Structure 1
């Protein structure tokens, strides 16, 4: 490890006091900034994020603004207004998509599925005062490096690259703390999330504090690609007297009717890469280790840290119940019916075609009646009176 990496460890310890990340209902929550200072945060795309707005409770007017620094001559635009839930849509396509998927809840900004393109500066205003300022780098979940300690797999090492004008950049991973073991009593798994950070030096002098790689890449486009990381290992934790059986208030129960030669994706409610989650197939627990060893057609999604279970139906099978747990609590039950109980794909396609034809025909008939009504209104002559 280079001498810079040792210094970075101390600096990151100070940085996380400002940019600390906590977990609530599967959302990664950026903590409040120090008064009058911005927060620099890294998150992973495709996982829900909630940004707090201090002093927003019981306030009459809260607004969130967004600025993408990569756009030329860009100005902050208003994403959300507490007084106007039916806000006009923004004209730019990227902004409109961000606006449509964002939610304002108790003054806080929730983004259920952020993308890399949503990186930028988010500010919250209460009245005329700016009370929160977040500079955020959403790192690509599709390029995440997953390693399992029990398979002897390594995390990404530090790397140093030379750029123009004697500039050097050291790329490394800034790790969050280990999450709790995903269940107790029996062996389980725990994970930790790491974000790509970069330290820029010139002539052995630090240019600026370590920043998320996406922010550094704005200034140095030739920076080599490097994604976030997910580290998994086997763990075992006590249950404090008894296995955890308490259920949270939200429990989703869904039935799936798959077809042969198809796939299904089961999403565990309230979970994300930032929360301890595990799955059960009947009485048997499913683990990252098991799927990585088999490398088969069924797997746990890497981008969300196992929040999505991918199933393949290539052969006839019996109906199966899958359950998922977050923080040790049951939050989802999925009954996956046997594929053989379904109608053949041809019959389903024929039924859908008939329904589609009926809907289209009814729509055309209603349009015809509306058009006919307009013609009749135009043909009416205004009544005349003689004096």
Structure 2
């Protein structure tokens, strides 16, 4: 399935209440040089195909360590293989290294294929970018329940369910904090491996209120240790109580941490 690696954390700019000089310096630097953001790196063994669900609007890096490599992609809208990956404004091909997709769109769900200069496959990523704007949010400490499994009839006996990631670290130490975990929409049929929902559906137009990613929040309390420098003293997302929608409060933030 492949593994995720967290990379390049950049804090949000200082709030307006802090020094005007620091705020001005941040703005000048942000326009002068490209700032590193926070992204997850999805590793996959050579000559393998790896499948994963991710959230849209959160940066991801797909490695391909091969000299002279070329990228092809196949989107889940029924189009054919294309060599125009670099034509997308939010995709940067880094030679001999991989592809950085910034704020990926749900419509960019599909297969990302890297081959070497001899035309042999190095790695293929099958990515389902699930729509972060439909994120279903619950708080475990308040007794709120995640989405239930549901059946889906598409000529078979599919079950729609949430595959949960491990809990992330507590957002503070030495006091009451919060932690969160992400869950992705998957579909499973009898005797078959589960697949992320929109990779399973392909080009079929199917809608269900159950087919959405989830985020669960819970209270946490951890002691401060020598590693407390890794804790982030601010939340990188906010939740609208009326609609239950979520958005990042830091332009370079990521819901993955």
Any conservation in 2 of the 1:120–1:137 contact (CA below 8 Å)? yes
Give 3-state SS (helix, strand or coil) of 2:85's partner: strand
1:195 alignment partner in structure 2: 184
Per the alignment, do residues 169 and 277 of structure 1 end up closer, same or farther by CA in structure 2, a change over 3 Å counting?
farther
Any conservation in 2 of the 1:189–1:287 contact (CA below 8 Å)? no
Give the whole-Å Cα distance in 2 for the aligned partners of 1:171 and 1:46: 23
Give the whole-Å Cα distance in 2 for the aligned partners of 1:199 and 1:66: 25
Give 3-state SS (helix, strand or coil) of 1:234's partner: strand
Per the normalisation by structure 2, the TM-score is 0.74
Give the whole-Å Cα distance in 2 for the aligned partners of 1:142 and 1:325: 14
Per the alignment, do residues 168 and 214 of structure 1 end up closer, same or farther by CA in structure 2, a change over 3 Å counting?
same
Is 1:144 aligned to 2:128, yes or no? no
1:159 alignment partner in structure 2: 150
Deviation at 1:162, TM superposition (A): 3.0
1:308 alignment partner in structure 2: 249
Q: Give matches, 1:264-343, under 5 Å.
A: 279=234, 295=241, 302-303=246-247, 307-308=248-249
Deviation at 1:242, TM superposition (A): 8.1
Which sections of structure 2, spanning at least 5 residues, go unmatched?
9-37
Is 1:178 aligned to 2:170, yes or no? no
2:74 alignment partner in structure 1: 67
Give 3-state SS (helix, strand or coil) of 1:142's partner: helix
Deviation at 1:39, TM superposition (A): 0.7
Q: Give matches, 1:363-378, under 5 Å.
A: none
Per the normalisation by structure 1, the TM-score is 0.51
Q: Relative contact order, CA 8 A, sep 6+: which one is greater? A: 2
Any conservation in 2 of the 1:185–1:243 contact (CA below 8 Å)? no
1:44 alignment partner in structure 2: 55
Bigger helix fraction: 1
Any conservation in 1 of the 2:58–2:254 contact (CA below 8 Å)? no
Give 3-state SS (helix, strand or coil) of 1:100's partner: coil
Give the whole-Å Cα distance in 1 for the aligned partners of 2:90 and 2:204: 30
Give the whole-Å Cα distance in 1 for the aligned partners of 2:43 and 2:109: 18
Give the whole-Å Cα distance in 1 for the aligned partners of 2:254 and 2:62: 25
Q: Report which stretch shifted further, 216-225 or 115-124.
A: 216-225
What number of residue pairs does the alignment pair up?
Answer: 224
Give 3-state SS (helix, strand or coil) of 2:54's partner: strand
Is 1:237 aligned to 2:248, yes or no? no
Give the whole-Å Cα distance in 2 for the aligned partners of 1:41 and 1:229: 15
Any conservation in 2 of the 1:183–1:278 contact (CA below 8 Å)? yes
Any conservation in 2 of the 1:278–1:326 contact (CA below 8 Å)? no
Is 1:20 aligned to 2:9, yes or no? no
Any conservation in 1 of the 2:113–2:124 contact (CA below 8 Å)? yes
Any conservation in 1 of the 2:58–2:255 contact (CA below 8 Å)? no
Deviation at 1:182, TM superposition (A): 1.6
Any conservation in 1 of the 2:170–2:222 contact (CA below 8 Å)? yes
2:14 alignment partner in structure 1: none
RMSD (Å), alpha carbons:
3.3
Per the alignment, do residues 147 and 32 of structure 1 end up closer, same or farther by CA in structure 2, a change over 3 Å counting?
same
Cα deviation per residue 1:115-167 (whole Å; 9 max; x = unaligned)? 01111110122322321101111111111101111222111111113344xx2
